[in-house]
Amino acid sequence: MNLKIAIPIIDKLLLSHFGESKHFALVEADRQSRIIVCTEIVEAPAHEPGSFPRWLRERSVQVLIVGRNGIGQRALDNVIHHGIEVRAGRPGTPVGALVVACLGGQLSLIQEGCDHQLGQANKLQAAAPHECRLNLE
């Protein structure tokens, strides 16, 4: 049985933040033989709240691999709501290596998204830098 995996990418490497993705690698892999059957690089839809999870579900994605600190809680909840499992990979890793690691059970399941709360003092700074944290299984 094949598994459909989505990976937000830049230059065929895992992008550090899910919401900033302009392209995704959609990979179909055979679970049993752990072989990649096909890979397609596709343009992401316009980034609006909830658009990526719906778009991924419409493409029958079962697993999403994101950077360890690369998905906010609302986005994570929405992806999970659409029945997609979310796994953590290291940003900058090539697509093929991520898929092999996923099929081998080496990528942690993400349970919490990064905290994008900027605090009272920074509320008006929409693009204020922040440090994301995740609890991984």
Read off the CATH number of the domain in which 27 is found: 3.30.420.130
Helix (H, G, I), strand (E, B) or coil at 16: coil
Residue 131 lies in a domain: no
Name the packing angle between helices 73-81 and 51-58 (round to 10°).
Answer: 30
Amino acid at 78: N
Residue 18 lies in a domain: yes
Residue 127 lies in a domain: no
Neighbouring residues of 126: CB distance < 8 A, sequence distance ≥ 6: none
**pLDDT, position 56:** 96
Helix spans in 59-117 (H): 73-81, 95-103
Of 38, 11, 37, the closest CA to residue 23 belongs to 11
CA distances from 10 to 38, 49, 64, 93, 110 (A): 18, 21, 15, 10, 21
**pLDDT, position 134:** 33
| Contact call for residues 35 and 1 (beta carbons, < 8 A) | no
Residue 135 lies in a domain: no
Residue 35 lies in a domain: yes
CA distance 40 to 46: 19
Residue 109 lies in a domain: yes
Counted domains in the chain: 1
Question: Does the reported pTM lie above 0.85?
Answer: no
Residue 13 domain boundaries: 2-122
Residue 26 lies in a domain: yes
Would the CA dihedral through 45, 60, 114, 65 be positive or negative? negative
Residue 137 lies in a domain: no
Per-residue pLDDT of the chain (137 residues; tens, 9 = 90+): 899 999 999 999 999 989 889 999 999 999 999 999 999 999 999 888 889 999 999 999 999 999 988 898 899 999 999 999 999 999 999 999 999 999 999 999 987 666 544 333 333 233 333 333 333 33
**pLDDT, position 21:** 92
